[in-house]
């Protein structure tokens, strides 16, 4: 992962009506390209948004960590001033250890 690593200080995680895990994060410039969600089973995850940006999601709630075990993708909603800017799926890539 050669992209710059942003820290997402505050984010929300909810399960939507379709039983999808939805991460609400602040919007970034540009369009996501082949996004992936890297997860090692621990308290943190990395959203690879595009070749120039990855986002560190720290301290995932225990319920979120448990839900991730049964999923193959997550839904990402990027919000700017209470307005939805981007919404996309990111495939979950299970790895041995996050590069932190």
Tell me the residue range of the domain where 18 lies. 4-94
Is residue 65 one of the residues assigned to a domain?
Answer: yes
> How many domains does the chain contain in total?
1
pLDDT in tens, 45-86: 999 999 889 999 999 999 999 999 999 999 999 999 999 999
pTM for this predicted structure: 0.91
Q: Which residues of 37-65 are buried (b: 16+ CB within 10 A; e: fewer)?
A: bbbbeeeebbbbbeeebbbebeebeeebe
Tell me whether residue 100 is in a domain. Answer: no
pLDDT of residue 4: 65
The answer, yes or no, to whether residue 90 has pLDDT greater than 90, is yes
Residue 1, pLDDT > 80, answer no
Tell me if 99 is assigned to some domain: no
Residue 89 belongs to a domain:
yes
- Say what the pLDDT of residue 9 is: 83
């Amino acid at each position: 992962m050669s992209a710059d690593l942003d820290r997402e200080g505050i984010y929300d995680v909810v399960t939507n009506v379709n039983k999808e895990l939805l991460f609400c994060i602040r919007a970034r410039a540009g369009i996501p390209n082949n996004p992936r969600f890297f997860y090692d089973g621990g308290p943190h995850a990395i959203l690879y948004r595009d070749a120039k940006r990855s986002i560190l999601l720290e301290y995932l709630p225990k319920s979120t960590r448990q839900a991730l075990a049964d999923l193959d993708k997550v839904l990402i909603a990027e919000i700017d001033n209470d307005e939805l800017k981007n919404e996309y799926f990111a495939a979950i890539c299970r790895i041995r250890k996050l590069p932190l």
